[in-house]
Every structure is written in structure tokens, then in C-alpha cells.
Amino acid sequence: MQLFLVFSGLALRGFGGVLPWAQRVLVEERQWLSREEFLETLAFGQLLPGPNVCNVAIMVGDRWFGWRGAVTALAGMLAAPLALVLIAISLYGQVADEPVLRHALAGMGAVAGGLFMATAVKLALGARRQWQWLGFGLLAFVGLAAFRIPMAALMLGLAPVAVSAAAWAQRRQMRVASPEDRFAGSNPRDKPSKDQDPS
């Protein structure tokens, strides 16, 4: 139930975008994920079809409670916004030409942009120990913003190079690691501690 309520709260707070709130709640408040784990989950979610935050919700729910958790988290993300959108659609036609509404929407767009920029800086600082990989993010940003390269083309060009470089770096690290270090680490489906358990 808590999983459903947390993701419902995320969806209701996420006017202009849920991602900044997802990072704050899942990493800083609930501590269900570390910043590095959130980055990895988000990166994988961006490779999959569908909204990034819904993909993150599915993966977080599945991590702790299997497919039932995935369904519960996704339902939390979608139920309240769906109801609000249906209500808004029925009202929007009556007030669409109001200047106040247009100014409010423009202001919300600016706030959403600021939230995304703040989240990007936080996530980049969290990945500073892996700063060498931020170059791929910079290349993607320049390609999209400066050269208007389509997202699909960027993904097809950069993703294989980034994955190959990461695999090469991991193999190199495994060669110098001790046998104990190679097999150290927890199972991704291990339950969280009591203070982190979302149940």
C-alpha cells in the first residue's frame, strides 16, 4: 500500500515533470535507492519505450516485490493523474482563451525547466566518481541542443560506444580485483532494511 501511495504522491506533485520529485523522494527522503542506483535505473528506463518515470516506477516496484510491486507502482503513477486529466479536459475548453491561464501555463513551463536543470546537476554530482562517463551525456546534450540530431540517431550512435566502453572498464577492473571483490555485492532483489522497506 505504501508503494502505491508514494508513487501516487509523486504523480500528484509532479506538475511539469515527475523526474525531479522521483529523485528527491526515492533517493533523499525514502532512501529506497542510492543516487548511483537511481541513475542506473533511469538510464535503463530511457532505453525502453514509454515514459521514463513510469519505467522507473515499474523497475523499483519489481525490485522489492516482483511483478505485483511493478503493477502497484505503475498504478500509483497513473491513477490520480488520469482522473485529473479527464477533469481538466472537460474544463479546458471553457477557459482555454483566458489570458491568466496562458500566463500560468507559461510560468509552469519555466518552473519545470528549472526543476529539470537542478535534478541534472544533482545527478551529475552524484556520479562524480564516474565522471569519465559524463562525457557521453555531454555529447548527447550537444547533439540534441546544438545540432538537432534526432534522439533515435543519437541513441544508436552513442549507446553502443558507451556500453562497450563500460564493459571494457569493468573487465579491466575485474582483472585487478581480488576473488573476494569479484563476487562481493548484493542481489538486486534483496530486501531493503526495515527502515527502507516500502511495504
- The answer to whether 23 and 37 have CB atoms below 8 angstroms apart is no
If you search the block for the grid coordinates 523522494, which residue do you land on? 25
Q: Please state the domain extents for the chain.
A: 2-126, 130-183
Query: Nearest-CA neighbor of 43 among 128, 145, 112, 136?
Result: 136
Exposure string for 148-158, b = 16+ CB within 10 A, e = fewer: ebeeeebeeeb
- In the chain, the amino acid numbered 158 is L
How wide is the angle at C-alpha 92 spanned by C-alphas 90 and 96, nearest 5°?
Answer: 155
Does position 179 have pLDDT exceeding 60, yes or no?
no
- Tell the residue number behind the cell numbers 545540432, with chain if given: 147
Distance of CA 9 to the CA centre of its chain: 15
Which pTM value belongs to this model?
A: 0.59
Strands, E, within the chain: which ranges? Answer: none
Whether the CB-CB separation of 127 and 133 falls below 8 Å is answered with: yes
Which pLDDT does position 82 carry in this prediction? 87
User: Cα–Cα distances in Å, from 37 out to 84, 94, 106?
Assistant: 31, 45, 33
Please name the amino acid found at residue 153: A
- List, for residues 116-162, the tens digit of each pLDDT value: 777 677 666 766 666 666 778 788 888 888 888 887 888 888 888 88
Higher pLDDT, 104 or 32: 32
pLDDT tens-digit map of 41-66: 988 887 788 888 899 999 999 998 89
Question: Cα separation of 70 and 58, whole Å?
Answer: 4
Share of the chain above pLDDT 70, in %: 76
Please check whether residue 136 is in contact with residue 41, taking contact to mean a CB–CB distance below 8 angstroms. Answer: no
Q: How confident is the model at residue 194 (pLDDT cuts 50, 70, 90)?
A: very low
Three-state DSSP state, 163: helix
Confidence band, pLDDT 50/70/90 cuts, at residue 89: confident
Nearest to 30 by CA among 11, 2, 1: 2
Residue 16 has pLDDT above 70, yes or no: no
